[in-house]
Chains A and B, each alone.
Chain A
């Protein structure tokens, strides 16, 4: 109280000049300069190796890029990815809901499901389902009094394509279940509490309040899963489903143009993954619209790289 506070602060003219004469010298970051030089050198060496080695046979690769067999294989790979991902999301959501259910039996069942299907390698599951007929000869549905309703031989419907769909969707569902469960858990409990207080029943709360909010947390890892799955489908080559990799293999088995065809395969996987990343970005934007500050660094970089319009906020 006793100290008198000045209402205005005067600056001496000489001091003001001294302040305006100051310049800032940026910090010298030698480590970054050295790192940059090394990265450039490495890039040069790699490009030179690729360009100068005739074994890459870029011309041959370009010739196979739109080969009809390759196109058919690419189509099958995409179809497998879409079907498996949709099934995995449906099954995964059900498992995730069981995982947060009040019933210990449902929680236990879903826990074991996740433990098993995430624990066993996908390739082994795939071959297992393909060989289901060794375990079960035929599948039939019999009811008391009505007799056998239908019966099919396992070998008739466990085609390579069908076993691939069953095996990989069950496997992928294990991963999706964990992602969706984490998403559900990330929604604050106050949200479902407020919905309860408004008279909304459990299923409605799940469908209208919890799951939509979980989407925001679920989408980024789901995008990664879809990209992983696209590449994982190349495993179906082992059970002779003619996907992208299988068709390329069958060509180079005849012509011995192994490297060019692997380049073709790699090119198409990279192309599809790039398109999926852009799609993922737009999906995330759609579900994140109530939370505009969320803008992952990678997405910002991607947006800048592709110079996407209409995304400025």
Chain B
């Protein structure tokens, strides 16, 4: 296990504290090239925020990290390991589904439309993957779920169905559901874009708490204020490439690329 990690580190030059490591990530759909070589380093315990106009490939890149989308080229390592492949010599073998699922289970993902299981209560949503995928006893899973729900401030909603909750509450439950798998990293795909303005704050607050507790996070967002306050690095993507990256405060205050400047002037 750790053998594979140290081998990958030596071979690809992965830093010791790397959680997400991307080099030359490409993705094509037929003729359309959505990602044209993306490099990214997200150290453990840090928060990377990705901004950019729609169609810039930022969501596609995020979905490549947990192999919801197969890469067309380049490499992507999470915790110094490939997610969808096993490296043997110079060949990347696609792994069997059960192994892919095991590795995916360690990467949490949040969606713009929350995607809570609508036929299950909040509690059932939280214990579904731990009990089914990890085979944790139900009672233990419930105890852990209660702790998580208290953390996102929804301990009183255990028996509610998703449709009975506001958007902000649903997204907080979704965060708790992802946390129930004790992931190494959380991916956020525009987590507040579908929310009414007055509900954005409560979700950002939960994300802030997570970041402060040392969770590694990759956040695709339009919330520039959040990126400035919480992000350790800010990445601006456009046309399938990373145009500019840097420390959020400096980059927002004085963007170097004219494209970044133009985008920021439109969203700020």
Q: Which residues of A are at the interface with B, using a C-beta cutoff of 8 A?
A: 188, 190-191, 193-202, 204, 208-209, 212-213, 216, 289-291
Contacts and interface: CB of A to CB of B under 8 A. Distances in A.
Interface string B109-143: 10101011111110000001100110000000000
Interface stretch (B42-50, B74-82, B94-102, B232-240): B94-102
B113 A190 contact: yes
B215 to A, nearest CB: 16
Interface string B6-39: 0000000000000000000000000000000000
Given A194-B174, A197-B108, 9 more contacts: A194-B109, A197-B66, A198-B105, A198-B128, A198-B177, A199-B104, A202-B97, A204-B133, A208-B132
A227 B103 CA distance: 47
A197 B133 contact: no
Interface string B59-71: 0000000101000
Contact of A194 (B106, B107, B115, B161): B115
A195 B105 CA distance: 10
Contact of B129 (A191, A200, A289): A200
Given A190-B113, A202-B97, A197 B104 contact: yes
Nearest to B174: A194
Decide if the interface of chain A is mainly helix, strand, loop or mixed.
Answer: helix
Which of A194, A200, A208 has the largest number of chain B CB atoms within 10 A? A194
B129 A199 contact: yes
Interface residues of B, number: 33
A199 B109 contact: no
Contact of B163 (A198, A200, A216, A291): A291
A298 to B, nearest CB: 23
A197 B118 contact: no
A291 B97 contact: no
B104 A290 contact: no
Interface string B181-210: 100000000000000000000000000000
B260 to A, nearest CB: 30
A196 B120 contact: no
A213 B115 contact: no
Contacts of B163: 290-291
Nearest to A199: B105
Nearest to A194: B115
Contact of A198 (B97, B120, B181): B181
A212 B124 CA distance: 14
B178 interface: yes
B118 A200 contact: no
B119 A212 contact: yes
Which of A193, A197, A201 has the largest number of chain B CB atoms within 10 A? A197
A191 B115 CA distance: 6
